[in-house]
């Protein structure tokens, strides 16, 4: 995808900063209350943070050397709150089955189910059920083409919340499927302009709505974080990702780790397959 340049006036930039600050201020009380609740769980928090950092910087785990379960996927509860459902892990219900509960459009639920199918084809613990890399890449390419057919809203302020969430899911799934199809690192997935657009849309939806679909929100943030820098926007994304993972962990620690580990496994798969292709001379 060709990079696009965007020139902003000082007033536009200031307006965006104020929106982030208002969104961040509403999240501050939530952040403090969650931190207070997990103060006694420092060890578990460090375990989760290791996965968060590994996902943000697309690297190996660094604090798990003495963990005997390092290479074991945490168990996923048979039943848990619908708002915690994440497209990175298995669930007894499809998103299409719970779309009304989550107040999602049919198209949004279908995207999430397709992302889940693609993800599980990579993260399955049973090698005998894992498709070949070329098959996974073909599936990702097919999904990418389908997503390109979905109309894009032209004006955020005039777009209903349901359609805005659909557009955020569409754009995130486009990046996600493209990285898998082309074995492209998530670090290089977003242009600066695309990240700014995403942040504008996230802020327009608002914290309360995202809190109700925290499992979905975590996936959106995990896909975006590796491309973000250490500027205002990058710190905002990383903070929201950490707080969202923490909030899910307060409900079920293993569930939060399962989501983070699944995304990390997708990153590791892309890295491994890319190295194989490099040796074969089929990818630069």
Which pTM does this prediction carry?
0.84
Classify each residue of 13-35 as buried b or exposed e, where b means 16 or more C-beta atoms within 10 Å of its C-beta. Answer: eeebeeebeebbeebeeebeebe
Instruction: Look at residue 216 and tell me if it is in a domain.
Output: yes
pLDDT, tens digit, 9 for 90 and up, residues 195-237: 999 999 999 998 899 999 999 999 999 999 999 988 988 999 9
Is residue 29 pLDDT above 60, yes or no? no
Total domain count, the chain:
1
Instruction: Look at residue 264 and tell me if it is in a domain.
Output: yes
pLDDT of residue 62: 80
* Separation of alpha carbons 211 and 185, rounded Å: 28
DSSP character string of 101-147: TTT--HHHHHHHHHHHHHHHHHH-S-GGGPPPHHHHHHHHHHHHHHH
Instruction: Look at residue 7 and tell me if it is in a domain.
Output: no
Instruction: Look at residue 5 and tell me if it is in a domain.
Output: no
The gap from C-alpha 37 to its chain's centroid, in whole angstroms, comes to: 24
* Separation of alpha carbons 216 and 1, rounded Å: 25
Residue range(s) defining the domain that contains residue 79: 14-280
Average the pLDDT over each of 25-34, 161-170, 196-205 and give the range with the smallest value: 25-34
């Amino acid at each position: 995808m060709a990079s696009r340049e965007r020139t902003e006036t000082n007033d536009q930039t200031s307006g965006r900063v104020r929106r982030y600050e208002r969104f961040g201020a509403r999240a501050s009380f939530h952040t403090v209350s969650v931190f207070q609740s997990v103060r006694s769980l420092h060890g578990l928090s460090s375990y989760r943070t290791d996965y968060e950092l590994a996902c943000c910087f697309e690297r190996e785990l660094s604090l798990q050397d003495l963990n005997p379960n390092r290479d074991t996927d945490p168990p996923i509860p048979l039943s848990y709150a619908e708002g915690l459902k994440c497209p990175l892990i298995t669930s007894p219900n499809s998103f299409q089955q719970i779309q009304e509960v989550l107040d999602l459009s049919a198209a949004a639920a279908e995207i999430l189910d397709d992302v889940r199918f693609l993800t599980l084809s990579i993260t399955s613990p049973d090698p005998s059920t894992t498709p070949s890399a070329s098959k996974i890449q073909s599936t990702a390419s097919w999904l990418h083409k389908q997503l390109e057919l979905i109309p894009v809203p032209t004006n955020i302020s005039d777009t209903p919340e349901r359609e805005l969430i659909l557009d955020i899911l569409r754009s995130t799934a486009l990046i996600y499927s493209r990285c898998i199809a082309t074995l492209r690192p998530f670090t290089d997935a977003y242009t600066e302009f695309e990240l700014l657009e995403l942040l504008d849309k996230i802020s327009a939806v608002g914290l309360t709505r995202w809190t109700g679909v925290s499992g979905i929100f975590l996936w959106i943030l995990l896909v975006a974080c590796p491309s973000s820098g250490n500027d205002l926007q990058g710190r905002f994304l990383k903070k929201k990702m950490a707080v969202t993972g923490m909030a899910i962990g307060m409900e079920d620690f293993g569930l939060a780790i399962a989501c983070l580990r699944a995304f990390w496994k997708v990153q590791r798969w892309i890295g491994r397959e890319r190295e194989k292709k490099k040796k074969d001379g089929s990818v630069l």
